[in-house]
Structure 1
Amino acid sequence: MRIAIRLAVLAPLVALLLAACAPAPIYQTPPGTVAATPMQVAQTPERYARANVIWGGTVVSVKNLTNDTEIEVLAFPLDSSQRPRLKGNAAGRFIAVLPGYVESLNYPQGSPITVSGTLNGSRAGTVGQAPYVFPLVKVTQSHRWTADEMQRGHPNIHFGVGMGVGIR
């Protein structure tokens, strides 16, 4: 009887602790999300107008404007948790447009980031001296990954069962 009471008390606590282990939001892929890479979208941006995307990569630069902040991102494929796989080949570049002011020091160059949002046109620019077309993503959700989140991959969850002895 006492064991059942202890389990009933501990079960919600264990569930809460397991939920706290999640490293970051796992993006749900909404209907209409395109699987195209930024490089593919840059070639024919009109084909993907207003499509939903989930893209990630590393921060190249941050530019604060009057009403928005633009983050240039070097894109990489995402893993099953939507983390950028930085050891793969780059998949182009894009500009993530976040509403309002974003502190650029919170997004240092090289930081891994994942964004979800809607394609909102494109902009001609340059990478070095080469011309480049940047797809623009109006961001609805973003996450900058910490070094710890990137290194551990998936959370380490350990579960144990113990037994106590009482003396009367």
Structure 2
Amino acid sequence: MLVTFVLAIAGCSTLPKDLQVAEGAKLLNYQEVAAQPQQSSGGQVLWGGVIADVKNKADATVLEMVHYPIRSYGRPTTDDESVGRFRVYVDGFLDPMVYKPGRSLTVSGAVTGSEEGQVGEYKYQFPTLKANGYHLWKDVQEVEVSTMGYGYGPYPYNWWGWHMWPYHERVIIRSKSKGYVDGPLPNRAPQSSNSPAPKKVTR
């Protein structure tokens, strides 16, 4: 069991193939690029977030992203506060019915500078990237599991001895990409405030 657990942890720490970066590559964080977008041009990044908007152009797709930190295996986590937004240019066509607002995405690419846009009526300066690779994360949902357990003792009966009993376990794996709220906030990304709190796991 211990070996299995260690292998599972190691597997969870591995980035998807489409996000792999060169070993030893220096990756810039969002704050560095937002502070000096032109000086950061050409620098490599590995950023994640939630899609806020999708625009299909003649030869590329522009994704507007709300930035969130990523876990060791690359998936964005919205447990933390966002520090801002950015735009990603992806060669070719991405279907907006698939890459739609609210979905979690991680992208590797190169900084190309910044461009001015708007969030609502607020003027916003977006750091911009040219994507080298990207990974759209699947939505996850609550599942329920019923299984059998066994033990020695009075539960669930009033006599001692070996016996088996069914028990019910609810496992909740909830996507934090839902509940995205748009709105003009100076130099901050709108926060997700509508997602229900995680339910307690019961057995």
User: Aligned pair 1:80/2:72, yes or no?
Assistant: yes
TM-score (norm 2): 0.58
Tell me the residue number matched to 2:105. Answer: 113
Instruction: Please give the residue correspondences for 1:18-57 in structure 2 after superposition, counting only pairs within 5 Å.
Output: 25=16, 27-30=19-22, 31-37=24-30, 39-57=31-49
Aligned partners of 1:148 and 1:130: how far apart in 2?
Answer: 33
1:148 Cα deviation from its structure 2 partner: 2.7
What value does the CA root-mean-square deviation take over the aligned residues? 2.6
Q: Across the two proteins, how many residue pairs are aligned to each other?
A: 132
TM-score (norm 1): 0.70
CA shift digits 1:58-105 (9 cap, x unpaired): 000100001100000000011111110111110211111110111111
Gaps of 5+ in 1: 1-17, 154-168
Name the % identity. Answer: 30
CA shift digits 1:26-74 (9 cap, x unpaired): 644434433321x442231122110010001000010000110000000
Q: Which structure exhibits the higher relative contact order, with contacts defined as CA atoms closer than 8 Å and separated by 6 or more residues? A: 1
Tell me the residue number matched to 2:83. Answer: 91
Looking at secondary structure, tell me which structure has more helix per residue: 1
2:138 counterpart letter in structure 1:
T
CA contact (8 A) 2:28 2:44 kept: no
Gaps of 5+ in 2: 1-7, 142-172, 176-203
CA contact (8 A) 1:62 1:72 kept: yes
Aligned partners of 1:42 and 1:24: how far apart in 2?
Answer: 25
Q: 1:148 to 1:142 in 2, by over 3 A?
A: same
